[in-house]
């Protein structure tokens, strides 16, 4: 049976419109980091190279190699961890040029370093890209977190983040790091701004 994250991992990827507490397990990711405005060309290129790697793994059996433990699955959504530079934190309004980010696409449990090397080899051969060498593979565990679904423009996320901060305060929790995670459930290139769905998440601990 095909593993579809929208069906099988709803608690992580499809929270409601109010903040909830969730425990996010350890996950594998392809990642690439950067600084600056996400509307710039460089950001789009980084997204493209991540997807090249993600699809290289997904299509491996069709290319004649099936990793141990492979199963059919839907490619996971793009995610990002967002923070600001020291300079950016001083400003009352968000200056997008001062954003620091790591964007990523989750990989299934069967993906090992060996599978990563094969994916790299395949992408270098078919879709060579100067940013390929910046892609890393690693494990992350958000653990105890507060998250909610934000509907609408990315520029309007402050409203939802404030709601989450109030929930965190009311439930005797503290934010572990000011950097927050975003999971892009919809494709910004194909979705009307008012209908964009983004999971927002803060890592937390009890006071």
Confidence check: pLDDT of 93 > 90: no
User: How do residues 158-167 score in pLDDT, each as one tens digit?
Assistant: 999 999 999 9
Interatomic CA distance for residues 16 and 14, integer angstroms? 7
Confidence check: pLDDT of 154 > 90: yes
Interatomic CA distance for residues 75 and 125, integer angstroms? 21
What pLDDT is attached to residue 94?
86
User: How do residues 165-190 score in pLDDT, each as one tens digit?
Assistant: 999 999 999 999 989 999 999 999 89
Beta partners for 78? 105
Four-point Cα dihedral 89, 82, 159, 24, nearest 10:
-130
> 137 vs 189, which has greater pLDDT?
137
What pLDDT is attached to residue 103?
98
Confidence check: pLDDT of 100 > 90: yes
The answer for 165, left when phi > 0, alpha when psi is -120 to 50, beta otherwise, is alpha
Confidence check: pLDDT of 126 > 90: yes
Domains of the chain: 5-206 (3.20.80.10)
What pLDDT is attached to residue 144?
98
- Reading the block at residue 10, the tokens are 């709803």
Confidence check: pLDDT of 140 > 90: yes
Interatomic CA distance for residues 143 and 24, integer angstroms? 5
Confidence check: pLDDT of 10 > 90: yes
Q: What integer is the mean pLDDT of 180-202?
A: 96
pLDDT grade, residue 92 (50/70/90)?
A: confident
- Work out the mean pLDDT of the chain and round it to a whole number: 96
The answer for residues whose C-beta is within 8 angstroms of residue 133's C-beta and 6 or more apart is none
Q: What integer is the mean pLDDT of 86-103?
A: 92
Residue labelled with tokens 């998440």: 201
What is the per-residue DSSP string for 54-95?
Answer: HHHHHTGGGGT---TT---BPPPPEEEEEEE-HHHHH-SS--
Judge whether 32 and 102 are in contact, CB under 8 Å.
yes
What is the per-residue DSSP string for 88-121?
Answer: HHH-SS--GGGEEEEEEEEE-TT--HHHHHHHHH
Q: What integer is the mean pLDDT of 54-62?
A: 97
């Amino acid at each position: 049976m095909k593993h579809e994250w929208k069906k099988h991992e709803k608690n992580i990827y499809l929270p409601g419109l109010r903040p909830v507490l969730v425990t996010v397990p350890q996950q594998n990711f392809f990642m690439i980091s950067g600084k600056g405005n996400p509307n710039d060309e460089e950001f789009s290129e980084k997204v493209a190279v991540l997807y090249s790697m993600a699809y290289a793994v997904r299509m491996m059996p069709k290319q004649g190699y099936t990793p141990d433990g492979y199963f059919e699955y839907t490619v996971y959504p793009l995610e990002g961890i967002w923070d600001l530079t020291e300079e950016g934190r001083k400003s009352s309004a968000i200056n997008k040029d001062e954003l620091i980010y790591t964007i990523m696409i989750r990989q299934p449990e069967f993906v090992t370093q060996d599978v990563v090397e094969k994916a790299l080899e395949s992408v270098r051969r078919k879709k060579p890209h100067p940013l390929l060498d910046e892609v890393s593979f690693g494990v992350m565990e958000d653990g105890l977190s507060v998250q909610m679904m934000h509907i609408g423009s990315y520029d309007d996320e402050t409203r939802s983040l404030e709601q989450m901060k109030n929930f965190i305060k009311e439930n005797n929790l503290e934010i572990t790091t000011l950097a927050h995670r975003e999971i892009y459930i919809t494709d910004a290139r194909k979705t009307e701004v008012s209908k964009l769905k983004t999971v927002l998440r803060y890592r937390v601990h009890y006071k």
